[in-house]
């Protein structure tokens, strides 16, 4: 009898111990991603897809992913609603033009979390996220300046804050590198030509070829695809890539690339939801959160230059971001930031001026 009672007590204890574990079992999260273009676009969407794959590798069976390619602004609301009806717990819009559609859908599905990349509007169930790619842009400019490039031609995308910030950061890095290298240069060191598109391979090639014909000594790619870098290589002109590693797509003349690294954020977003710690707001991190990367250096980059660039990268990883610290002048010579002052995040996110040293206009 005692043995029977003992066994019953042990069985009850096992049930009590097992119950909390069962209650704490993590729910498998279903995540939906609306992608701007195809996963093999070699740029913006490829970077997001790489981030999704990283997240899946890290989280394994904790997450189920569905995605749809070529989700442009006009079609985004339909896709978001489909994701919601298909049982997604969290939905990601991965381009600026998804902002208004994601807000409209979020209002109708208050129990679903929504994440919008590169936007600036939030709601109780909508969070925005972006990485500080301008930090990697700055390092690319610094590298170029240290190597003596003083008449860069930039193939830009849209003259809106994100690309404008990148043009300015690259230029500030370029000017610093030229100064440290003791290279004399003219007032203009970076000429930007706007695509007024995120990706247009034909126009990217044409603009790069036009800049090369005007004797610009390096081509700075900022579009979502590497075609401007490829055009530079075809003309034996060095280039700087953007988004992903342009050299991996055949642009062998690229000195380095400013790379978007979305994986760590996607892991964070799913974990936040899973742990009940998800909250609205705006996420904006850089090297300190492994959100951006610098691609491997071209063999022509001297070791001394590599060391200097990596030293600044290490400062950025440690949270020391002095890129937009005064004095800074706009392209007309007006002081927009006094000595020691710095732009706050609000000013950076709304930036609509070009710094001294840039030739180009913001009007579309």
For the cut 80, the answer to whether the pLDDT of residue 20 exceeds it is no
Please check whether residue 155 lies inside any domain of the structure: yes
Please check whether residue 364 lies inside any domain of the structure: no
Report the C-alpha gap between 115 and 346 in whole angstroms. Answer: 19
What is the number of structural domains in the chain?
Answer: 2
- The answer, as to whether pTM is greater than 0.85, is yes
For the cut 80, the answer to whether the pLDDT of residue 8 exceeds it is no
Q: Do 152 and 234 reside in the same domain of the chain?
A: yes
For the cut 50, the answer to whether the pLDDT of residue 10 exceeds it is no
Q: Do 189 and 53 reside in the same domain of the chain?
A: no
Q: Do 187 and 240 reside in the same domain of the chain?
A: yes
Please check whether residue 17 lies inside any domain of the structure: no
Q: Do 60 and 121 reside in the same domain of the chain?
A: yes
Q: Do 254 and 281 reside in the same domain of the chain?
A: no
Q: Comparing 6-20, 21-35, 218-232, which segment has the lowest mean pLDDT?
A: 6-20
How much is the average pLDDT of 124-132?
98
Q: Comparing 162-166, 222-226, 280-284, 320-324, which segment has the lowest mean pLDDT?
A: 222-226
Q: Give the domain-ending residue among 289, 304, 327.
A: 289
Q: Do 242 and 111 reside in the same domain of the chain?
A: no
Q: Look up residue 159 and give its DSSP letter.
A: S
Q: Do 273 and 352 reside in the same domain of the chain?
A: no
> How far out from the chain centre does Cα 110 lie?
27
Q: Do 78 and 198 reside in the same domain of the chain?
A: no
Model confidence at 364, pLDDT cuts 50, 70, 90, reads: low
How much is the average pLDDT of 188-207?
95
Report the C-alpha gap between 364 and 352 in whole angstroms. Answer: 12
Please check whether residue 7 lies inside any domain of the structure: no
Q: Look up residue 112 and give its DSSP letter.
A: S
- Which two tokens mark 343? 């732009």
Residue span of the structural domain in which 106 resides: 29-132+262-289
Q: Do 125 and 201 reside in the same domain of the chain?
A: no
Please check whether residue 210 lies inside any domain of the structure: yes
Model confidence at 232, pLDDT cuts 50, 70, 90, reads: very high
Here the CATH number for the domain that contains residue 110 is 3.40.50.2300
pLDDT value at residue 2: 45
pLDDT value at residue 199: 87
Q: Look up residue 151 and give its DSSP letter.
A: S
Q: Do 39 and 123 reside in the same domain of the chain?
A: yes
Please check whether residue 118 lies inside any domain of the structure: yes
């Amino acid at each position: 009898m005692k043995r029977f009672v003992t066994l019953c007590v042990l069985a009850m204890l096992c049930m009590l111990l097992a119950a909390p574990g069962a209650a704490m079992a993590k729910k498998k999260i279903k995540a939906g991603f609306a992608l701007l273009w195809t996963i093999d676009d070699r740029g913006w969407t490829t970077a997001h897809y790489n981030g999704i794959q990283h997240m899946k590798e890290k989280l394994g069976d904790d997450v189920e992913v569905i995605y749809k390619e070529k989700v442009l602004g006009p079609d985004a609301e339909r896709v978001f609603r489909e994701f919601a009806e298909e049982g997604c717990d969290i939905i990601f819009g991965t381009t600026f033009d998804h902002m208004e559609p994601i807000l409209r859908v979020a209002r109708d599905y208050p129990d679903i979390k929504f994440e919008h990349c590169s936007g600036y509007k939030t709601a109780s169930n909508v969070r925005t996220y972006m990485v500080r790619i301008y930090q990697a842009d700055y390092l690319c400019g610094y590298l170029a300046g240290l190597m003596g490039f003083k008449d860069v031609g930039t193939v830009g995308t849209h003259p809106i804050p994100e690309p404008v910030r990148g043009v300015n950061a690259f230029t500030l890095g370029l000017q610093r590198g030229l100064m440290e290298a003791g290279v004399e240069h003219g007032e203009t060191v970076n000429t930007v030509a706007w695509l007024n598109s995120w990706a247009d391979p034909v126009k990217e090639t044409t603009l790069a070829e036009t800049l090369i014909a005007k004797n610009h000594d390096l081509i700075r790619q900022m579009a979502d695809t590497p075609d401007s870098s490829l055009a530079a290589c075809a003309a034996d002109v060095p280039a700087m890539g953007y988004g992903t590693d342009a050299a991996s797509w055949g642009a062998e003349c690229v000195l380095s690339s400013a790379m978007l690294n979305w994986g760590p954020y996607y892991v964070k977003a799913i974990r936040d939801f899973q742990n009940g710690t998800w909250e609205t707001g705006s996420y904006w991190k850089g090297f300190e959160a492994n959100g951006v990367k610098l691609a491997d250096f071209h063999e022509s980059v001297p070791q001394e230059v590599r060391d200097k660039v990596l030293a600044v990268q290490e400062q950025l990883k440690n949270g020391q971001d002095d890129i937009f610290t005064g004095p800074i002048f706009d392209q007309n010579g007006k002081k927009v930031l006094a000595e020691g002052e710095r732009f706050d995040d609000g000013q950076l996110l709304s930036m609509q001026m070009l710094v001294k040293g840039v030739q180009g206009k913001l009007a579309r």
